[in-house]
Structure formats: structure tokens, C-alpha cells
Amino acid sequence: MKPLCLTTALPFIESAPGSEPAIEGLDVRVLRGMKAGEAWPEDEADRVEVMFCTTPPPNLAKFKKLQWLQIESAGFSQLFPFGLNDGRITVTNARGIFDCPIAEWNIAMMINLARDLRTLIRHQDAHIWERSAQFTGEIRGRTVGIWGYGGIGRETARLAKVMGMRVHVLTRSGVKSRVDSTCIEGSGDPDGSLPDRYFTEQEKEEFLKGLDFLILALPLTKKTDGLLGEPDLRLLPKGAFVLNPARGPLIQEQALLAVLRDGHLGGAALDTHYAYPLPAEHPLWSFQHVILTPHISGTSFSPNFSTGLLNIFRLNAPRYLAGEPLLNIIPPTDLQ
């Protein structure tokens, strides 16, 4: 009997109700119509070895034969409450398929902030003819600092270099090549040669002091929660911009509000937040030069998303069945 895989109706599943995606060697059952936070059926819990979903069900502990959990996101902070840091269940993510859309968001937000497009749109809505925007900036020749140099950081660096920017990178792991089967062909910086300069964690102060834009491109873990406090943000030159498509709590909330209120930061673009949904009364809504998007930088609307997501699963399935190491494994120590 084939191992049973349960999955929710993810975007890559375009088949009609009653038919399931064919994954050789696995019995795949699609749980259609499931709502977030709803318990999954337990009638065959003793057969379930694999789950494919964004967030596991609240009754995850009932699936005692589970060995492999594939999530459809690159970030994994949604897994912290499930106690998966003991390594009993192998967890893999969708690293690679979000590189291009999030990098595009980063470039779009830098242009938006430099050109002050938010003000221009407000003027359009109010029917105001105001040409002071002709004196806004451009991103060519400016310095972007990318904190974290995985796939998203590397594709952002590639696009930034095309736009004529200087690229500085702070990374804990040093200069490494990144070539694997989940990378999108022609994207990123496989050999790590694009940045104008690399910085270590010990050089953080020098890194921050030289930036026009700071982009966060690292996961939220126990070590990175609250990574940037007010002293760090004030190391950025006055008028610099911060972009966070990674995870909101990487930046201490009150620290961010403080440097926005007193004008030290020129603005920010935030796709990840401190609460979901962000409450209507939250002060971040009211800053003139802050762009808020509702965690959509890694949009799944593109057909590349569905193809890439299913490809990762198809690549990993035979590895799982053969007892070989899986692609995109999240270290158990990061899942706490």
C-alpha cells in the first residue's frame, strides 16, 4: 500500500473535484474546502506519512505516522506553535519559487519610495496639479543593503545591479554558491559574485551606515526575532528607506515607529506585519511615506508559482520514498 499524503486544495491543484495530482509512489488525497484552523479528518491518520499545506492542522499530533511536512511558503514562522523542533518530522519549504516575485516587489518599492509615488497618487485622487515631484530621486547610483543572501536576496541583487545600484550584503554564512534544482533558471546570483561588498555580522554598524535602502531578506527564527532595534535603525543615514518583505518582527515594532515619527527614516515599505490583519487603528497606516501591502510580495497569481511549487513536491517525493535527503529542509533548530 502506498504511503498516504494529505494536502489542502493548494493553488497548483487545478484538477476537477474527485481527481488528484499524480505523484508516483504516493497516494495523494486532496482535502477540499478546508478552512484555516480546521481539524483534518482522522479516519486514516495511521496511514498518513506526508502532509502538503501552508499550516498544519490543529490536530497534527493525531497523525503519529507523519514523517514529512512540505509547506507551500518560504517562511516558516507559522510552524513555531507545533513543536517541530525535535526533528522527528522532516520539514521542507518552497524556497526558490518566491525569489523572482519578491525581488520584483523590492525593486518596485524602492522606485516608489525614491520617486514618492504615494504622494503623486494622493494628488491624482484629489485632482491636484503639483509638479514638485519632478525633483524626486532615482535609484541609479544609490546603495542598497541586503541583509541575508538566499535566493530572494540574490535575485534582488541581480535586478538592482541592472538598475545601476551599488549592492552591499550582510550575511552570516559568508560568500557561497547557491545552485540547486529549486532555483529559477537565469535568476539570482549563483556564484555570489554580484555584490560590490560583503559584510559580516561584526561589521553591521559599517554596513548600516552606508545605505540608502535596507532590505531584509532573512527568515524569522529565535535568533532573528527583534533583530533590528532603534540603535540599529539610527545607524542608517537620515532619509534612508527600509523594506521588509521577510517577517515583521525582525524589526522591533516600537523602534520602527520611533524612527518614522521623528523623520529619521525617509520611509518604509512593509509587506509583513506585527498582526494579521493589521488593525485599522495601527499607527503604521498613517505615515505619509510608508507603503503597506498585505503580505502579497510573493504573489501566487503567476503560473510560475503553481508550476514551481508542484515541481518541488515532485522532486522530493522520490527522494522521500528512497530514503534520500530532501530538498529545502528547514533545520529543526530554526523551528522554535
Which residues are catalytic, by number?
247, 295
* C-alpha to C-alpha distance for 197 and 53, rounded to whole angstroms: 38
Around 326, how many Cα atoms within 13 Å sit in the side-chain half-sphere?
24
β-pairing, 143-147 vs 48-53, is unpaired
* C-alpha to C-alpha distance for 62 and 78, rounded to whole angstroms: 19
Contact 167, 196 (CB under 8 A): yes
β-pairing, 27-31 vs 197-199, is unpaired
What are 8's strand-pairing partners?
A: 31
Beta-carbon count within 10 A of 128 CB? 10
* C-alpha to C-alpha distance for 34 and 10, rounded to whole angstroms: 11
β-pairing, 213-216 vs 143-147, is parallel
